[in-house]
Structure 1
C-alpha cells in the first residue's frame, strides 16, 4: 500500500500548485490508501492555507500530520507559515521551540520564521539577532540571500 500511496502523493505534489484539480484527486487517493500519512496531510494543510486561505481547516490538517509523525520535517515549516498568516503568534512560538529540537530539520528556515514572528510583534532587534543566528546555520546561497534581504528590510523598517 505504501508504494501506491507514494505514487499518488508524488503525483499530487507534482501538480501542486499549478493544477489543483489533479493535485486534489491524487491527494485524495493517497489519503484513501494511508489516511494517517503526515506528508499527505501536510500537503492538504498547505492547500487550505496557501490556496484557500482557510487557516483553521489548514491547522487541523497540520496538527493531524504532527500527531501521526511528530518528527516529520516538512510539517513545521508550512504549519508555521499558516500560524503566522492567521496571527496565531503564541502557537507559532511553541511550534518554533518544538521544531528546533527535531533532528535533521532546516534550522535556518525555522529561525527565519522566528524572525518573521518577532518582526510582526515589532521586536526588530530580536528579529535581527535571529536572522544572524539563521545565517550561521544556513548552508545554501539562496537561503543566505533571503536572510540578508530580510535583514536589510528590517533595518530599513527599524529606522522609520
Structure 2
C-alpha cells in the first residue's frame, strides 16, 4: 500500500456509504495508483454489492481482491454477504470454509455469515448451532448482542409444534 494510495483509499472509506459520488472518485484514484490493491478492490465491491445491488459486478471486484491478496482478512466477509444476497450458496459455503482458516479473521463474523446461509436454506437448527459457536469468538458486547438478536429472530422463524386438541377439553 503506497502512501498516495493509502490517502485515497482512506478518503474513499470515509465517504462510504454516505457520499458515493466522492467515494467513487477517490476510489478510482486509489485504483489508478495501485490497480491490484485488495482493500480498494474490496471497497469497490462493497459499493456495487451494498449500495447498487449489482452483485455480478461486485463479485468481479471481490474476486480480483481475493486474487490480489488471498490472505486479506477484510474481503471474505463482504464477498460472502454478496454471494448470499445473489443466492450463490455453494460458492458462499466454499468461501466460508476458506475464510475460517485465515489467521486473524473475525471468526464470529464469518460464522454469522454461515448462520445466514443455513437460515436461507431454512435450516434453522443448524443456523442456531452456528450462532452458538460464533458467540465463543465474539469479543465485544456489541458483537455478542448482534448474535443474540439473530438467535431470537431465527427462533421466531422456527415452526412451533403443539400437542393441543382442537375444540378444547
Which structure 2 segments of 5+ residues have no match? Answer: 161-169
Correspondences of 1:10-159 after superposition (within 5 Å): 10-159=10-159
Aligned-pair Cα RMSD in Å: 0.9
Which structure 1 segments of 5+ residues have no match? Answer: none
Q: Tell me the distance in 2 between the aligned counterparts of 1:129 and 1:150.
A: 12
Q: Tell me the distance in 2 between the aligned counterparts of 1:11 and 1:34.
A: 15
For residues 13-41 of structure 1, what are the alpha-carbon distances to aligned partners after superposition, in whole Å with 9 as ceiling and x for unaligned? 00001111111110000000000000000
Partner SS state of residue 29, structure 1: helix
Q: TM-score by structure 1 length?
A: 0.98
Q: Tell me the distance in 1 between the aligned counterparts of 2:32 and 2:159.
A: 53
Max radius of gyration: which structure? 2
